[in-house]
C-alpha cells in the first residue's frame, strides 16, 4: 500500500494536510503546486489498494482523473470547500466537501478531527482570507490578541508563497514549504523558529507596498479593477493584494489582473462583496477557464482584448456597493 497526498500549495491546503498527518503520520508521495495548479490528480500513478488523500482542490476540475483512480481500485479521501459538481457514487471514495463558503478545507479537517490541531485550522482560515471564521476558532482556544495576530500573519505568509505563474516567481516550491511546516507540532513554534517565515513576511509586505502604489484601471459603482505591471513581484502578490482589498473594503467587488509572461493575456483574481450579490465563482465562470469559491475566484487566462468586456461585466454584476455585511 502506498500513500499519496495531493494538495493545493496555499496556506489552506498545507494546513489541512498538516492536521491530518499530525493525526496519522505516514510516509507519502507529495503532489502539489502553486495556487492555480488545480488538476493535480492527473499526475498520480496510484494502483489498487493505494490511498490518495486530496485537499483543497476542486473536484470539478479533477473529476476525470478521480474516476480513473477509483476504477483502478484506488481508495480516495477528498476534503474540499469548492463546488464539486457531481460527486461520483463509489465505494472507494470518501468525500467531505462543504461549498457553502462558511469553511475552508483546514476548517473542514478540523471538524473531522474534533479540533485536535485547531491552531493550524486558524492559520489556514486566515490564509484563505476567512478572518471571521479564523477569529471564531481562535476564540474557542482562548488565544489573546498577540497570539491571534501571530497566526494571522503566519497564514498570510504561507498563502503568499502559493501565488505565481511558475515556481521561479515564489520563494520556494510549495512542497518544500510544507516539509518545513511539518517539522512543527505548533504554529507558534514555526513562526518563531523558521527563518523562511520571516523572509516571506518581509517579501510579502514589500510586494504589497508596490501594489498599493498602482491606481485602479477601472472604477465602477460597486467594483474596481487593478492591472498590475508585468513583473515577478506582481505575479507573487496578486492574490494577496486581492485579499487585502477585500478586507479593506468588503462592500465592493475587486478584480486584480496580472500579465501572463510572454502572452497577450492576464491572470484574473476576483473578490466579491459580502452579502447577497453575485458570487465571484459564478462571475468568473463567464470567462472560460474560471472558477473558485463563492467570494474568491479567478480566471487562468483572460485575453487582453476582453478587458473592456470584463469592466462592463463588473459594472453589471455589482452596480452598487453591497449593503448586507452578513
Only one residue has cell 491530518, namely 20
Quote the pLDDT of residue 279: 87
Which cell goes with 225? 479593477
pLDDT of 54 over the 70 cut = yes
State the pLDDT at residue 302: 94
CA dihedral 122, 124, 130, 133 (to 10 degrees): -30
Q: Which residues pair with 291 in a beta bridge?
A: 298
The CA distance from 159 to 321, in Å, is 28
Q: Which residues of 87-122 are buried (b: 16+ CB within 10 A; e: fewer)?
A: ebeeebbebebbbebebbbbbbbbeebeeebbbbbb
- Region 3-201: CATH code: 3.90.1640
pLDDT at 141: 98
The pLDDT of 197-203, averaged and rounded, is: 97
Asked if 138 and 106 touch (Cβ cutoff 8 Å), the reply is no
What is the average pLDDT score of the chain?
94
First to last CA, the chain: 46
pLDDT at 278 > cutoff 90 = no
- CB neighbours of residue 297 within 10 Å: 22
**Bigger pLDDT: 325 vs 241:** 241
Residue 236: pLDDT over 90:
yes
Domain ranges of the chain: 3-201, 214-317
pLDDT in tens, 12-38: 999 999 999 999 999 999 999 998 888
The span from the CA of 98 to the CA of 82, in Å, is 7
**Is residue 193 predicted with pLDDT exceeding 80?**
yes
Average pLDDT (298-311) is 94
Q: What is the pLDDT of residue 326?
A: 38
Place of cell 472604477: 219
Q: What pLDDT does residue 159 have?
A: 96
**pLDDT score for 40:** 96
Please, which pLDDT band fits residue 289 given cuts at 50, 70 and 90? low
Q: Is the pLDDT of residue 325 over 50?
A: no
| CATH class in words for 214-317 | alpha beta
Which distant-in-sequence residues (6+ apart) come within 8 Å of 124 by Cβ?
Answer: 11, 12, 14, 15, 16, 104, 105, 106, 107, 155
pLDDT, average across residues 218-238? 95
Res 274: pLDDT: 79
Rounded to whole angstroms, the Cα distance separating 221 from 140 reads: 39
Quick: pLDDT tens for 127-144: 999 999 999 999 999 999
* The pLDDT of residue 183: 97
pLDDT band at 322 (very low <50, low <70, confident <90, very high): low
Q: CB of 256 within 8 A of CB of 284?
A: no
What's residue 321's pLDDT?
Answer: 72
Residue 165: predicted pLDDT? 87
In this predicted structure, which of 88-92, 163-167, 181-185, 322-326 has the lowest mean pLDDT? 322-326
Q: How far is CA 36 from CA 29, 30, 58, 166, 206, in A?
A: 20, 17, 11, 10, 23
- Which cell is 64 given? 476525470
Amino acid at each position: 500500500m502506498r500513500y499519496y497526498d495531493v494538495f493545493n500549495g496555499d496556506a489552506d491546503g498545507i494546513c489541512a494536510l498538516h492536521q491530518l498527518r499530525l493525526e496519522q503520520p505516514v510516509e507519502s508521495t507529495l503532489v502539489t503546486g502553486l495556487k492555480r495548479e488545480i488538476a493535480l490528480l492527473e499526475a498520480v500513478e496510484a494502483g489498487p489498494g493505494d490511498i490518495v488523500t486530496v485537499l483543497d482542490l476542486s473536484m470539478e476540475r479533477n473529476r476525470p482523473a478521480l474516476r480513473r483512480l477509483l476504477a483502478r481500485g484506488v481508495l480516495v479521501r477528498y476534503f474540499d470547500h469548492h463546488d464539486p459538481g457531481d460527486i461520483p457514487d463509489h465505494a472507494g471514495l470518501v468525500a467531505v466537501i462543504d461549498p457553502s463558503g462558511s469553511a475552508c478545507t483546514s476548517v473542514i479537517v478540523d471538524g473531522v478531527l474534533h479540533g485536535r490541531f485547531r491552531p493550524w485550522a486558524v492559520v489556514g482560515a486566515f490564509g484563505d482570507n476567512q478572518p471571521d471564521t479564523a477569529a471564531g476558532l481562535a476564540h474557542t482556544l482562548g488565544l489573546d490578541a498577540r497570539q491571534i495576530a501571530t497566526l494571522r500573519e503566519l497564514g498570510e505568509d504561507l498563502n503568499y508563497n502559493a501565488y505565481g505563474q511558475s515556481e521561479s516567481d515564489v520563494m520556494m516550491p510549495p512542497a518544500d514549504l510544507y516539509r518545513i511546516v511539518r517539522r512543527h507540532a505548533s504554529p507558534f513554534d514555526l513562526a518563531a523558529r523558521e527563518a523562511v517565515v520571516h523572509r516571506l513576511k518581509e517579501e510579502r509586505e514589500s510586494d504589497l507596498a508596490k501594489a498599493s502604489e498602482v491606481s485602479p484601471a477601472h472604477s465602477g459603482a460597486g467594483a474596481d479593477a487593478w492591472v498590475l505591471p508585468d513583473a515577478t513581484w506582481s505575479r507573487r502578490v496578486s492574490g494577496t493584494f486581492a485579499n487585502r482589498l477585500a478586507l479593506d473594503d468588503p462592500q465592493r467587488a475587486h478584480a486584480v489582473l496580472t500579465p501572463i509572461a510572454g502572452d497577450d493575456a492576464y491572470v484574473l483574481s476576483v473578490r466579491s462583496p459580502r452579502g447577497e450579490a453575485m458570487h465571484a465563482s459564478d462571475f468568473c465562470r463567464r470567462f472560460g477557464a474560471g472558477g473558485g469559491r463563492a467570494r474568491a475566484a479567478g480566471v487562468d487566462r483572460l485575453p487582453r482584448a476582453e478587458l473592456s468586456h470584463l469592466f462592463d461585466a463588473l459594472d453589471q454584476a455589482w452596480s452598487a456597493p453591497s449593503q448586507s455585511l452578513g
